Structure 1
Amino acid sequence: MRLNPARGRWFLALAILLEVTGSLSLKGALDAPALYAVVVAGYAGAFCCLALTLLSGVPLGVAYGVWGASGVALTAILSMVFFSEPLSPLMILGIAVIIVGVLCIELGAHIAHRRRIEVP
């Protein structure tokens, strides 16, 4: 079963948000154990959305690369906002490198897709 390819991007974005929610809730659950339910729901939802992303036709390398990298960057940034965790200049550089890496994955996937279409 294949879904609409345009929906894959929405499922991927939702998978990223759910994974980040689960990760942030894990830190919060140390003080409020009820948040463990949010952790489980966040991770379960993230994997379901990632599966729907793949079913929609987004290649595994692209989906997993964007999901993992975006989750790391967003979690680091939001940890600063919600938990007052520091972001050093080196960490900020790392987040910038992650963003560039995600862009490279996306552009590379588009180029590979075009080449596959051009080859009879």
Structure 2
Amino acid sequence: MGKTYLYLLIAVAFEVFGTSCLQASQQLTRLWPSLGIVVGFGGAFFFFMQVLKELPLGITYALWSGLGIILVSISGWVVFGQKLDLAALLGIALIIAGIAVINLFSISSPH
């Protein structure tokens, strides 16, 4: 099961990279960030499919998208100088709480 969660983290890392490249590509007008989009999302979906061999789709997608939202928000703040207001931070805190509830209490998610 440890390998499954490692693959999930790798999928999230690729997705965050690809999403950050979307911003950096300036609507696909810059070559390297545009290629980063393809690599990022290609890697994300490859590892996402590996995770689906062990975890149910709904749980996998909730974890993947939740972690992705958190990390993309951090990336936007650190790399692109985008600000997060109190409502955004509270929403992110709720996402973190949701991920914790799924992993700690859900019988749908193998522990």
TM-score, normalized by the shorter chain, greater than 0.5: yes
Q: Distance in 2 between matches of 1:82 and 1:47?
A: 24
Equivalent residue for 2:14, pick from 18, 38, 56: 18
The higher radius of gyration belongs to: 1
| Secondary structure of 2:55 counterpart | coil
Deviation at 1:113, TM superposition (A): 6.3
Equivalent residue for 1:29, pick from 16, 25, 29: 25
Gaps of 5+ in 2: none
Kept in 2: contact 1:62–1:106 (CA 8 A): no
Report the structure, 1 or 2, having the larger helix content. 1
| Residue 105 of structure 2 corresponds to residue 108 of structure 1 | yes
TM (norm. structure 2) is: 0.89
Equivalent residue for 1:9, pick from 2, 5, 15: 5
Structure 1 residues 27-66: aligned runs within 5 Å: 27-30=23-26, 32-55=30-53, 57-66=54-63
**Cα distance, 1:53–1:90 mapped onto 2, change above 3 Å:** same
Q: Residue in 2 aligned with 1:96?
A: 93
Aligned AA (1:90):
A
Q: Distance in 2 between matches of 1:79 and 1:17?
A: 14
TM (norm. structure 1) is: 0.83
Instruction: Kindly report the root-mean-square deviation, in angstroms, between the aligned alpha carbons of the 2 structures.
Output: 1.6
Q: Distance in 1 between matches of 2:38 and 2:109?
A: 35
Kept in 1: contact 2:8–2:48 (CA 8 A): yes
- After superposing on structure 2, the runs of 4+ consecutive aligned residues of structure 1 that deviate more than 2 Å are 31-34, 111-114
